[in-house]
Structure 1
Amino acid sequence: MSAKGWAATPKHAAYDVVIVGGAMYGASVSWWLSGMPDFRGRILVIERDPAYNFASTSHTNSSIRQQYSQAINVEISRFGAEFIHNFKDFMGGDERVPPIVLQSFGYLYLADTPAFAEALKAAQAVQAACGAATRFWSVNEIAEAYPFYNLDGILGGNHNLVNEGYFDGATIFDWFKRSGRERGVEYIHNEAVAMTLNAAGTRVESVTLKSGETVGCGQVVNASGPRAVLTARMAGIEIPVEPRKRFTFIFDTEKPLDRALPLTIDPSGVHMRSDGRYYMCGCPPDDDHAVDYTDFDMDHAIWEEKIWPAVATRVPQFEAVKVVNSWVGHYAYNTLDQNAIVGPHPVVTNFHFVNGFSGHGLQQSPAIGRGMAEMLVFGEYRSLDLTPFAFERIAQGRLLLEKAII
């Protein structure tokens, strides 16, 4: 045995589907796939870090929003909210499964320039057309709803209190794994280190493990998070995905607010929200570049020099605060257009992507996992059309630009 409860050696010499990566996407895809009546095959999930110490899943802020600039992302999050609200039903009514509460304290994007305000209005129109409850608010409307803000320099903002906020993504992840295993999904503690293609270079025939074994495969799914490019290169494929650092701080305040703080995206790039009796905030570094896959070093100066000044300026009650926790996570950042890459490769046709989510992977995992399972079984999407995320746009340099990235 390897890590507790994890075998290192696969039980079989070949699998119908081999998934490289067992965090949120490996778990979601395998769970959806294992529950499809038309699928009777073997599924192998290969995870190099069964404690998930370096997984983006373990460092997530576990929020969901419908405030995107691309309609497909709005639709994905609308299904995500449906999945959260009806989690036990999706899990087959299993009495062991707890309900998942979506704490809808909402999101609020603040605009400080006319161009930014117009961009928010355009995004609101897209969201409303998809059924989202987003509204563009004037400064007076924001002040009336949230009188604690200092709105100097703010021209307006987009706001939505319906199905936007925090949810317990860790419990969903645990049940994806547990339920999947009960259905026969096989997880191993190992690492994919190479892939063998057929002579024509059109299919992956086998995956070689770090321990030396080789397993045959019908389909391969790249669910490797920030390491997605390493997995793709095993099949001779390049994708524009790299690990980018994101910093999160939990703080207490001498003067708590009298109501929930929506997830507020300040024009400075800092975001903040309620987190139980505390508050959560974070931002990217000013020099937002690719980092090593194991670089989770905290830069405490970013709190003093960037985050706290922005937080205290926007909410004067936060002038006297104390950091109680902090961590660093990685975005699997798509440098082309900050959108996911999903579906099969056009040449290596049995190699599939669920990559490059650029910070919104956890909230998108129910819809993407379902869609990927449909593609693996039927060769097409049957619930929600995910073809806008296809690899072809990467090869052609054709952007599907998502402007609402935090």
Structure 2
Amino acid sequence: MPLQTADILIVGGGVVGSSTAYFLTAHPGFHGRVVVVEKDPTYGEAATARSAGGVRQQFSTPENIRMSQFGASFIKNVAEHLSLAGEKAQLPFVEQGYLFLATPSGLPVLEQNHATQTALGADIVMLDPPALRRQFPWLHTDDLAGGAFGRRNEGWTDPYSLLQAFRRKAIAQGAVYIQDEAVALQREGDRIASVTLAKAGTIAVGAMVNSAGINAARVAGWAGFDLPVRPRKRFVYVFDCRDSAEIQKGPLLIDPNGVYFRPEGASFIGGVSPPEDQDPDCTDLEVEYGLFEDTVWPTLAQRVPAFEAIKLVRAWAGHYDYNTLDQNLIIGRGPGLANFYMANGLSGHGLQQSPAIGRALGEMILDGAFKSIDLTRFGYERVARNQPLAELNVV
């Protein structure tokens, strides 16, 4: 039977869209029709499936810290939330922490962030160079002033499994997923009246959610406003190292220059964000190996002497829905719109914050306001005023 109406239509069925569908359909006071439009149900090229899966509380913005705290708790207790009848939901959570390193010039910011994090209950400890050497004897520390290490609720999980668990549970609760693509919106006054899909045609909507990832700005443009979200490409490099038994037990480490690595099975993965002037809008998935040769490998070899002898095994590319204003989430209603909601511009931390974002959107749409975590500062108003809400710990 062709679709004709949806009480809530979600454009984009990745981890944020699927989390939103789950929380909407789980709301005890809501019994409407939730439709999720996803053009690629295999998620083969989706940002979620190509994520490094990190979970951390080491942000500088209190709202980001609180969202990721909820995300860590949700993932660790996923069986309570996303299990199906006769099928227990399970997710790996490798709780080996994050380690942010700082040189003398960067130490004050690290200490300031640490104060914010611990004030909100995050179990992060500051380590001076001798303490770093004791805990991580494989680490070169001569140029460092200190590091911040997350002892609990930090590590990494399986992004694809989290996405699929959200999707399966949302469907079990009544959400309808369709393989299609939004191509237009019809606006009437302050409302979106309908959404046109490439195959299913026009669907009348009570409300809609823009969780279209790297395509979010296009959807916002159809609604009549500009969204500073652009597709940016990031690379994940997989490498092996022979003498790495102790390093395998280590955290996800972020060097002062932004290069990161972490264990991945018997191997390691790593990468770095390119300089801003070398980070164009990009939708292809071609891998650039020069960034590994010129920046990632030299940094790894300097920071971890054992990594002077590593072998690059493979690499892949994925995308950030990159908020060019401040690399932070934009969530809430669209400007001048009563029934257009969005969660866009996550700039790489959407996976870990997806449980909190889905919950927040569910609260705003069905209860009229944020209840669990006040995300008002992440609304579109700051974009309209051109007032960034800077996040200092962008990886």
Using the size of structure 2 for normalisation, the TM-score is 0.96
Aligned to 1:60: 51
Deviation at 1:292, TM superposition (A): 3.0
Measured against aligned partners, the alpha-carbon deviations of 1:324-382 in whole angstroms (never above 9, x if no partner) come to: 22101111111111110011123012111110001000000001101101111111112
For residue 113 of structure 1, report the CA deviation from its aligned partner. 3.1
Quick one: which amino acid aligns to residue 232 of structure 1? A
Does 2:281 correspond to 1:291? Answer: yes
Distance (whole Å) between structure 1 residues aligned to residue 82 and residue 16 of structure 2:
17
Residue identity opposite 1:134 in structure 2: I
Matching residue of 1:5:
none
Partner of 2:64: 73
> Within 2, Cα distance between the matches of 1:351 and 1:370?
17
- Alpha-carbon deviations, 1:133-164, whole Å to 9, x = none? 11221111111100111112111111112110
**Which residue of structure 2 lines up, in the alignment, with residue 267 of structure 1?**
256
For residues 147 and 86 of structure 2, the distance between their equivalents in structure 1, rounded to whole angstroms, comes to 42
User: For each residue in 1:31-85, what CA deviation from the matched residue of structure 2 results, as whole angstroms up to 9, or x when unmatched?
Assistant: 1111111111111111122222221111100110000001111111111111011
Q: How does 1:7-22 map to 2 (within 5 A)?
A: 11-22=2-13
* 1:145 corresponding residue in structure 2: 135
Give the fraction of aligned pairs with identical amino acids, expressed as a percent: 38
**Counterpart of 1:121?**
111
Structure 1 distance, partners of 2:348, 2:282, is 17
Letter aligned with residue 289 of structure 2: H
2:40 pairs with 49, 55, 79, which one? 49
User: Could you say what secondary structure the match of 2:68 adopts?
Assistant: helix
> 1:210 Cα shift?
1.5
TM norm structure 1: 0.94
Contact 1:245 1:285 (C-alpha < 8 Å) held by counterparts:
no
Secondary structure of the residue aligned to 1:56 is coil
Within the candidate set 157, 166, 181, 2:156 is matched to 166
Give the conservation status (yes or no) of the 8 Å contact 1:251–1:321: yes
Alignment length, in residue pairs?
A: 393
Q: 1:399 aligns with which of 375, 388, 392?
A: 388
Amino acid at match of 1:102: F
- Equivalent residues of 1:88, 1:94 under 8 A apart: no
SS class of match (2:49): helix
Secondary structure at 1:385 match in 2 = coil
Out of 83, 86, 90, the residue aligned to residue 81 of structure 2 is 90
Rounded Cα–Cα distance in structure 1 between residues aligned with 2:117 and 2:254:
17
- CA displacement at 1:97 relative to structure 2: 2.1
SS of aligned partner of 2:64: helix
Q: Distance in 1 between matches of 2:321 and 2:31?
A: 31
Partner of 1:210: 198
- Contact 2:96–2:154 under 8 Å retained in 1: yes
CA–CA separation in structure 2 for the residues paired with 1:240 and 1:279: 33
What does 1:326-365 align with in structure 2 at a 5 Å threshold? 326-365=315-354
Q: Is the CA contact (8 Å cut-off) linking 2:84 and 2:169 kept in structure 1? A: no
Provide the alpha-carbon RMSD of the alignment. Answer: 1.4
Equivalent of residue 25 in structure 2, options 34, 39, 50:
34
The residue identity in structure 2 corresponding to 1:166 is W
- Which residue type is aligned with residue 74 of structure 2? F
Displacement of 1:291: 2.4
SS at match of 1:59: coil
Q: Quote how far apart the aligned CAs of 1:285 are.
A: 2.4
Q: Map Cα deviations across residues 14-41 of structure 1 (whole Å, 9 max, x no partner).
A: 1110111011111110011111111111
Q: 1:159 to 1:253 in 2, by over 3 A?
A: same
Matched, 1:240 2:231: no
**1:312 is paired with a residue of what secondary structure?**
helix
Structure 1 gaps of 5+ residues are 1-9
Superposed displacement of residue 132, structure 1: 0.4
1:169, CA displacement in angstroms?
Answer: 2.6
State the alpha-carbon separation in 2 of the partners of residues 95 and 156 from structure 1: 48
Look up the match of 2:238. 250
